[in-house]
């Protein structure tokens, strides 16, 4: 039995392990630890596919294991981060007499975990998503949430956006719908280095690199850069879809 065929699944389990720790730390309110673990999970998620291709170690079990790991790392973990942040705002409001309503409202971020499950199940049976994505990929969604919360934790000036009753329920609903939408979103993986075959991807890489400049000039946290890259990715894909649909 070749040991190399187990390497991709082992890397996938490291993804899952990071996701489990991110959930635990998220429930403790250790935001930054959770964010770094989600990033680590995303790296392992990339590496398991790379290892499978390199070692030619594809397997049906590996595909299912990857989806299960992604559900925890990129579905449940970001949901918990938003849930904890939102609950921290709602807790002082319970004296108002609307405790039941507020408690129900606090669970709206869990929609992201539910729709991530739908997204992953849809991806596994959708033959249209062999090269690019249809709908927002779960790792990109999780990183967007993680970067948003990480950057905001260093900027109290953004509290007026987050500390209200509707921002997190609304953003949770929007991101959930993007996960299962029919919006085509290009994959950042390159099958070749030819510019003609990857024009949009190369231009996006250049644009992303240029975004580093204003982040450095303004002295902002690194998470702002990745947040802006991911927002740009979603906005570009959405506008392209809407223009093409006209």
Q: Provide the residue ranges of all domains of the chain, joining segments of one domain with +.
A: 3-185
Q: How far apart are CA 75 and CA 114, in angstroms?
A: 8
Q: Which pLDDT score, from 0 to 100, does residue 191 have?
A: 65
pLDDT digits (tens, 9 = 90+) for 125-147: 887 876 778 999 999 999 999 99
Report how far residue 54's alpha carbon sits from residue 3's, in angstroms, rounded to the nearest whole number. 14
85, 168 contact by CB (below 8 A): yes
Give residues with Cβ within 8 angstroms of 90, minimum separation 6: 102, 105, 106, 165
Residue ranges of alpha helices (H) inside the chain are: 7-28, 31-55, 60-71, 77-90, 99-106, 111-125, 138-153, 159-162, 167-179, 199-210, 212-217, 222-245
At residue 1, the pLDDT reads: 47
**Below-50 pLDDT ranges, the chain:** 1
- Supply the CATH classification number for the domain 3-185: 1.20.120
């Amino acid at each position: 039995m070749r040991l190399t065929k187990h390497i991709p699944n082992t890397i996938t389990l490291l993804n899952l392990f990071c996701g489990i720790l991110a959930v635990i730390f998220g429930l403790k309110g250790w935001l930054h630890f959770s964010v770094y673990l989600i990033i680590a999970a995303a790296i392992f998620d990339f590496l398991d596919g790379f290892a499978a291709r390199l070692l030619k170690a594809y397997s049906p079990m590996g595909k299912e294991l990857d989806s299960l790991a992604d559900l925890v790392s990129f579905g449940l973990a970001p949901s918990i981060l938003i849930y904890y942040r939102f609950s921290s705002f709602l807790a002082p409001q319970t004296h108002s007499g609307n405790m039941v309503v507020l408690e129900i409202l606090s669970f709206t971020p869990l929609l992201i975990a539910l729709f991530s499950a739908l997204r992953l199940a849809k991806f596994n049976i959708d033959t249209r998503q062999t090269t690019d994505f249809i709908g927002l990929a779960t790792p990109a969604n999780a990183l967007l949430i993680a970067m948003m919360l990480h950057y905001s934790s260093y900027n109290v000036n953004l509290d007026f956006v987050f500390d209200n009753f509707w921002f997190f329920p609304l953003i949770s609903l929007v991101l959930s719908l993007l996960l299962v939408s029919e919006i085509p979103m290009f994959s950042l993986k390159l099958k070749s280095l030819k510019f003609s075959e990857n024009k949009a991807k190369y231009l996006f890489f250049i644009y992303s690199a240029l975004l580093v400049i204003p982040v450095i000039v303004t002295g902002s946290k690194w998470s702002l850069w990745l947040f802006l890259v991911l927002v740009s990715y979603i906005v570009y894909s959405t506008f392209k879809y809407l223009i093409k649909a006209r």
